[in-house]
Structure 1
Amino acid sequence: MTPMNPDADAVERAVARLTAALDEGRPVAPVRDLIGEHDLAAAYAVQRELTRRRLAGGAVVTGRKIGLTSPAVQRQLGVDQPDFGVLFADMDVSAEAEVPSWRLLQPKAEAEIAFVLKEDLADGDLDAARVRSAVDYAVAALEIVDSRIADWDIRLTDTVADNASSGLYVLAERRLGLDEFEPRETTMRMYADDVPVSEGAGSACLGDPLNALAWLARTALEFGDPLRAGQVVLSGALGPMVPAPPGTRIRAEISSLGEVTATFSEKSGKPEKRDA
């Protein structure tokens, strides 16, 4: 997947539409009518421009998220590979008592393994062994996905342009090195208000969450923005995502890594533009 030169006017109009969703705190129509359903170059161009604007406003990149790692979801969207988005510092709500529901439009939660890197993945042969050696530790994570597209009416280019439908994320405190567990062998159970709502396994994420990480490392290098030491990578859902409306408590158990929880605040206040 190599960046190309998409239609600049279409990209700008898609950027404007998604920016309006953020500024006004309301979902908007899909952007595929502007950039097409299959033009990945255009979709990533939209994502890059939205990222550039956030960085210009003082935002700090903390890592990446990988989406579309489930074969079932790939079939649904007619694709044969994952996608990725950018994580920013203000998306990490691990230290907050509650997830700020007012910052979200249509949140859903999914349980994942998050990898934190100790080495750059910026050159050379990014094979499985190299990628594995670059991982400092892993933690259980909840990714709070969100869509600026009304009613989650998305196709591939909609979600890619919309920063891979990113929202917020929560990391657990327990850290394990890859010498202490195998990500592909993990099992996951997720609960909403103590009711079982999702289950899965490490093998549901491209066969192994480390496969997803390797794909991202190679793809990020192709895009000229490689993964760096200290960054967090949300490697992809281990099971189906579930709605997370205000007031919900989500808890996920990932074998070896333990529990990660998030309580969504009762919605209050007016959504604000997030510049950092």
Structure 2
Amino acid sequence: MTTDQDTSSASWSATRVADILLEAERAATSRTSLSAEWPGLTLPVAYQAQDIALQIRKARGENITGIKLGLTSRAKQKQMGVDAPSVAWLTDVMALSAGDPVPRTQLIHPRAEPEIGFVMGRRLSGPGVTAAQALAAVDWVFGAIEIIDSRYAGFKFTLADAVADNNSSGKYVTGPILRSPDSLDLGLEACLLEIDGQVVDTATGAAVQGHPAEALAFAANTLADRGHAIEPGWVVLTGGMTDAVAIEPGARVAAHFTSLGSVTISGG
């Protein structure tokens, strides 16, 4: 683990970024954005840090379960001043079983967002993957709630900060229903997001890059640039359909999908 406190540019590296953010995650302690301290934190360096952190996670016993996308909403992209989503990793320690409360002691400031997820049936490798090709590689579609948790105070960060932080990964819960992609119109698949029985937001799958399959294709093509592919059996979370909402202690958050059932979590 990096312990050097020198903040000169020469002391920084993708490895140090990975170490700092993994330690913040372990300690459930927020910090200021890294880009505020190191202008050298570019998007390519951030993805390097993300991949280094994945190797550290694997070395300590975590297993890859899939990938997650961030900034798939056009509104969120405009807010961040970007024109494309970002991709990050999912591991088994991030998965919660249905009915499990949010593990608040492991998280800093959890927020929930409903998502459309995929279970991959075959390997999907870019470049040049289209949305139609991406969807043809999917076995099953499900609804999910992702519990994001930035390591940055107040969720204040640049795109490179977020990517280095594994797209604010926290936990995720998958829904009870699996449907074939051929049986759904994913662009029209709707979701109601509730907190304690009150609807706080609504959206359809079209909020995710116009169609969740577009997000999947983007992920395959972006991962190819880094020497990776999306493997059979992996889970893919295609990105928040609505804005993320804070999960308060004791709260009940539910996402109700048109065809994919309901997913409920307890605030712990």
Q: Normalized against structure 1, the TM-score is what?
A: 0.89
Whole-angstrom distance in 2 between the partners of 1:215 and 1:248: 34
Q: CA deviation at 1:225?
A: 1.3
Per-residue CA deviations over 1:159-204 (Å, capped at 9, x if unaligned) read 1000001110000111110111111111111001111111111111
Amino acid in structure 2 at the alignment position of 1:63: G
8 Å contact kept, 1:137–1:177? yes
Q: Secondary structure at the match of 2:187?
A: helix
**Runs of 4 or more consecutive aligned structure 1 residues displaced over 4 Å after TM superposition:** none
Residue 183 (str. 1) matches residue 186 (str. 2): yes
Per-residue CA deviations over 1:68-102 (Å, capped at 9, x if unaligned) read 01111111111110001100011110245322222
Residue 10 (str. 1) matches residue 13 (str. 2): yes
Whole-angstrom distance in 1 between the partners of 2:214 and 2:39: 29
Residue number among 248, 253, 256 corresponding to 1:250 in the alignment: 253
Structure 2 residues without counterparts, runs of 5 or longer: 1-9
Whole-angstrom distance in 2 between the partners of 1:263 and 1:13: 35
Whole-angstrom distance in 2 between the partners of 1:255 and 1:235: 17
Residue number among 255, 262, 266 corresponding to 1:263 in the alignment: 266
Residue 115 (str. 1) matches residue 118 (str. 2): yes
Residue number among 211, 215, 222 corresponding to 1:212 in the alignment: 215
8 Å contact kept, 2:72–2:208? yes
Check 1:239–1:123 CA distance in 2 against 1; reply closer, same or farther (3 A cut).
closer
8 Å contact kept, 2:77–2:84? yes
Check 1:131–1:179 CA distance in 2 against 1; reply closer, same or farther (3 A cut).
same
Whole-angstrom distance in 1 between the partners of 2:128 and 2:78: 29
Q: What is the Cα-based RMSD across aligned positions, in Å? A: 1.9
Q: CA deviation at 1:240?
A: 1.3
8 Å contact kept, 1:61–1:89? yes
8 Å contact kept, 1:94–1:172? no
Whole-angstrom distance in 2 between the partners of 1:247 and 1:200: 25
Q: CA deviation at 1:262?
A: 0.8
Whole-angstrom distance in 2 between the partners of 1:82 and 1:37: 21
Residue 84 of structure 2 aligns with which residue? Answer: 81
| Pairs within 5 Å for 1:47-58 | 47-58=50-61
Whole-angstrom distance in 1 between the partners of 2:139 and 2:204: 22
| Pairs within 5 Å for 1:33-52 | 33-36=36-39, 39-52=42-55
Q: Normalized against structure 2, the TM-score is what?
A: 0.91
Whole-angstrom distance in 2 between the partners of 1:225 and 1:159: 20
Residue 171 (str. 1) matches residue 174 (str. 2): yes
Whole-angstrom distance in 2 between the partners of 1:252 and 1:172: 9
Q: Secondary structure at the match of 1:189?
A: strand
Once the two structures are overlaid, the 10-residue window that deviates more, 19-28 or 227-236, is: 19-28
8 Å contact kept, 1:35–1:43? no
Whole-angstrom distance in 1 between the partners of 2:209 and 2:17: 30
Residue 146 (str. 1) matches residue 149 (str. 2): yes
Q: CA deviation at 1:221?
A: 1.7
Whole-angstrom distance in 2 between the partners of 1:52 and 1:125: 27
Whole-angstrom distance in 2 between the partners of 1:86 and 1:93: 15
Q: CA deviation at 1:103?
A: 1.5
Amino acid in structure 2 at the alignment position of 1:241: A
Residue 233 of structure 2 aligns with which residue? Answer: 230
Check 1:35–1:43 CA distance in 2 against 1; reply closer, same or farther (3 A cut).
farther
Residue 90 (str. 1) matches residue 128 (str. 2): no
Whole-angstrom distance in 2 between the partners of 1:124 and 1:218: 5
8 Å contact kept, 1:74–1:81? yes
Amino acid in structure 1 at the alignment position of 2:208: C
Structure 1 residues without counterparts, runs of 5 or longer: 1-6, 266-276
Residue 271 of structure 1 aligns with which residue? Answer: none
